[in-house]
Amino acid sequence: MCTKITYTKQGDYNLPNLTLPEQDERDIGVWGARRRRYLREYHKILYYNLLTSCKLHNHLADVNEEATAMYERLVKQFAEAENITEQLKAENQMLWVKQMNCIRNRAEEIVLIEIIYV
């Protein structure tokens, strides 16, 4: 595989004209940012391999989509299992907020363990 490389003269040096491949503009979101921080701190080799192969952004966007879907599904399932309804919200708002915060925290921990910190 032989490709023609072009150069630009900068002073006394010839620098190659390098361009990055096109990447989609998907948002990495909060879950993707957490995954990026985790990879950068604890899995440097994987992080730099993804970064240098221009696959990091797509990986983080995929992780964000998967984690968001799992989080929303878990919150809904936990709320149904514990009978947290709109009726409870109308009758006792503080109890509803307390229980929903507990559910969200549990769902977040599960997503972190099963998707982000893998």
Q: Of 17-26, 49-58, 87-96, which gets the smallest average pLDDT?
A: 17-26
Looking at the predicted structure, is the pLDDT value of residue 40 above 80? yes
Residue 32: both structure tokens together: 């993707």
The proportion of the chain whose per-residue pLDDT surpasses 90, expressed as a percent, equals 82
pLDDT digit string, tens, across residues 9-30: 999 999 988 877 777 788 999 9
Residue 42: both structure tokens together: 């604890």
Residue 104 CB-density burial (10 A; 0-12 exposed, 13-18 middle, 19+ buried) = middle
Residue 6: both structure tokens together: 């072009």
CA pair distance 117, 35, nearest whole angstrom: 7
| Closest C-alpha to 103, from 118, 117, 88 | 88
| Closest C-alpha to 113, from 34, 33, 44 | 34
Looking at the predicted structure, is the pLDDT value of residue 1 above 80? no
Q: 22 phi and psi, to 5 degrees?
A: -65, 140
Mean predicted confidence (pLDDT) in 89-117: 97
